[in-house]
Amino acid sequence: MDQDIIETIRQDHEQILKMLDDLEVHDRASSETYSVARGLLYSHMYGEEMTIYERTRSEMYERVEDSLAEHNSIRIGLDRLDQIEITGTEWVPAIQDLKRLVRFHIDSEERLLRAAESFLDKSERFELAERFQRAKGEQSGYTLA
């Protein structure tokens, strides 16, 4: 692994936002794209919870708890989208709501990541990135070698 946990999470955030942007446009939205975005969101959140949140909880308890609550809100938003037809009139408002939740979470999580950078040494950050990728793989039904 050539990236640390902070870089890895930030890259995931960019990818997630791009996919949500695509899902907001009807001619780019598809059930396949939604399935991939949904899987990425779930595995990303699980990876964060098993690595960076677990590791930083003692130093930043309140921030971690806030982030966990935001993850729960995102899961509820995904559950709502699961019930909506992509071609239906409810899709765009629902995906916009999810995007707002995700953007808010990314913005607030950025403060957690900046704080973590100040006390996690480089080797620990690289080790956390490896664990993060493994956790994401476990959540999505496969494991990385």
- Secondary structure in 3-state letters for 23-57: HHCCCCCCHHHHHHHHHHHHHHHHHHHHCHHHHHC
Q: Which domains does the chain have, with CATH numbers?
A: 5-139 (1.20.120.520)
User: In the predicted model, what is the mean pLDDT of residues 23-28?
Assistant: 76
Both tokens of 143, joined, read: 């494991």
> What is the C-alpha to C-alpha distance for residues 130 and 141, in angstroms, rounded to an integer?
17
Query: pLDDT grade, residue 100 (50/70/90)?
Result: very high
> What is the C-alpha to C-alpha distance for residues 61 and 97, in angstroms, rounded to an integer?
27
Predicted TM-score (pTM) of the model is 0.90
> What is the C-alpha to C-alpha distance for residues 127 and 123, in angstroms, rounded to an integer?
6
| Pairwise pLDDT comparison (23 vs 105), residue with the higher score | 105
Q: What is the pLDDT of residue 84?
A: 93
> What is the C-alpha to C-alpha distance for residues 5 and 132, in angstroms, rounded to an integer?
7
